[in-house]
Structure 1
């Protein structure tokens, strides 16, 4: 298991705004997947200029979301970056005490959702290229439950524990060199109340 903070809880408006930028969120997600990368590597992934990517990486670092990593190559001019934690969490309760904070939280949540939806749309568009094994394994479901707020919180905790277990299993396999057949997998879960 990583020695990094498991899941950094963002509670201040400045850090939320720093992350809630379309390019910065893509760069942060790219670093979570790669675990460490240079601005050049990330610029190639997001199809942006290296200078622009470097600027946004420095902004993420200013707020402690990412940090410099040990160099992974002999080129001393390359600056490597890595996430400062294994992920972030953003809770409504930390941003509801002022209209500006609530509005920023809503805008950030919408951005994160749109980027997640775009990831799924890309998978759907490329589905034929993934082959039958991945298509059989990929999941999209909707379940309607009747829960209390406390039960929903308990379910969320159970799901997080399950995801952590699989994350640790994948990380251990990667560290052991067992990468054959492994791909990055996004799991998006939304749980919210609604009325018909």
Structure 2
């Protein structure tokens, strides 16, 4: 069962408890699988993720406790149907400053996202040759660079989010449309030039 593409796009701002709960190899994959594939039972999720039903059920309940997955109310016991509670989650590193456990969890989670991106993009490269050339031209990756302050980068991110939101359902109902993953990654190039403080990050008019 695929996710309902007609529903409103929903998100959840992670608090420290939710972040630390999600920062787990199986839990992060469970949430990703439910968001990508739609509602599923613990048994089918265990098969997909090559684990056992008991562990899957336990970790689904942990995710449910922090609002990341939900019981649909359909089925019972091992046939209970689970779904992702939201389409996405958000956080800012500043949310967890001073909480060493949360900062460690965040570091793990971001690295896990990077691993997941690499795995999924390599799967695309494995099958790319069998797709029409129009899709091969449209998909892919690129890179560039900007020179900006943190505030300017935040503004750029907001504009990128607006573009993605505008295109989120643009292909709805078109048989030629497909669901696509859209990633955005930003990091400093001059890693040896750590800013000394606010004077180097303030916007200059």
Compute the TM-score of the two structures, normalised by the length of structure 1: 0.82
1:89 equivalenced with 2:90 (yes/no) = yes
What secondary structure is seen at the aligned counterpart in 2 of 1:81? strand
CA contact (8 A) 2:20 2:101 kept: no
1:42 to 42, 45, 48: 45
Listed as ranges, the matches of 1:4-83 within 5 Å are 6-12=10-16, 14-71=17-74, 78-83=79-84
| Equivalent residue, structure 1, for 2:184 | 189
Name the CA shift for 1:93/1:69 in 2 (closer, same or farther; >3 Å).
same
Name the CA shift for 1:127/1:165 in 2 (closer, same or farther; >3 Å).
same
Relative contact order, higher structure (CA 8 A, sep 6+): 1
Shift of 1:18: 1.5
Q: Distance in 2 between matches of 1:79 and 1:48?
A: 17
CA contact (8 A) 2:14 2:91 kept: yes
Q: Distance in 1 between matches of 2:111 and 2:129?
A: 29
CA contact (8 A) 2:19 2:102 kept: no
Name the CA shift for 1:59/1:109 in 2 (closer, same or farther; >3 Å).
same
What secondary structure is seen at the aligned counterpart in 1 of 2:51? coil
Q: Distance in 1 between matches of 2:101 and 2:29?
A: 24
Structure 1: segments with no counterpart, 5+ residues = none
Q: CA RMSD in A?
A: 2.3
| Equivalent residue, structure 1, for 2:113 | 112
Q: Distance in 2 between matches of 1:44 and 1:179?
A: 32
Q: Distance in 2 between matches of 1:183 and 1:35?
A: 15
1:165 equivalenced with 2:166 (yes/no) = yes
Q: Distance in 2 between matches of 1:157 and 1:109?
A: 20
| Equivalent residue, structure 2, for 1:149 | 150
Name the CA shift for 1:65/1:127 in 2 (closer, same or farther; >3 Å).
same
Q: Distance in 1 between matches of 2:170 and 2:124?
A: 24
Shift of 1:44: 3.3
What secondary structure is seen at the aligned counterpart in 1 of 2:168? helix
| Equivalent residue, structure 1, for 2:199 | none
Compute the TM-score of the two structures, normalised by the length of structure 2: 0.78
What secondary structure is seen at the aligned counterpart in 2 of 1:88? strand
